[in-house]
Copies of this chain bind each other. A is one copy, B any other.
Amino acid sequence: MKLEEAIQSNQFKSPAQKAALNILYTAWWLRNITNCTLKEFDLTHEQYNVLRILKGKHPQPMCTKDIASRVIEKSSNVPRITDRLVAKKWIARCQGTADRRETISSLTPAGLEVLAKATKAMEASIGKRLQLSDADADQLNELLERMREG
């Protein structure tokens, strides 16, 4: 859907302002697709992201600060997201031994399993909905990074 249709407006102050709205709308569109896909696994977009981050170091555990440095939304409250993953027994948490201020999290076997299933579903759904050639994606990445240079 065109942005103009999506937000019922075609009055933009500049191409850059339209691009800003377009990015915000596209981010919502992406989150919506992923949340729909993840719902059957009782996972939210953010919880899935934390599981993926933990997978990146698995079988090594990670402290909360390291997880936080890898999440996309930098104001995420990681302790609360991990609370919910602990409640579902997908991660295990304990106090750090070297530094006892740290809280150490690691994937459980059940966590690994749900992550594998969810990732498979995500790839199928993203592969279907997100039609973008490698060349276009590269160009998009370059423009986004140029935008944030300011």
A residues lining the B interface (CB < 8 Å): 1-3, 6-9, 11, 13-32, 56, 69-75, 123, 126, 128-132, 134, 136-141, 143-150
Contact = CB atoms under 8 A, between A and B. Distances in A.
How many copies of this protein are present in the complex? Answer: 2
A20 to B, nearest CB: 6
Given A131-B149, A131-B150, A146-B132, A14 B137 contact: yes
10 contacts: A3-B144, A8-B69, A15-B141, A19-B141, A22-B145, A25-B72, A28-B73, A28-B74, A131-B146, A139-B143
Given A8-B69, A28-B74, A74-B32, A19 B140 contact: yes
A13 B24 CA distance: 23
Given A11-B56, A16-B132, A140-B143, 8 more contacts: A16-B134, A21-B72, A23-B30, A24-B30, A24-B72, A132-B146, A132-B147, A139-B143
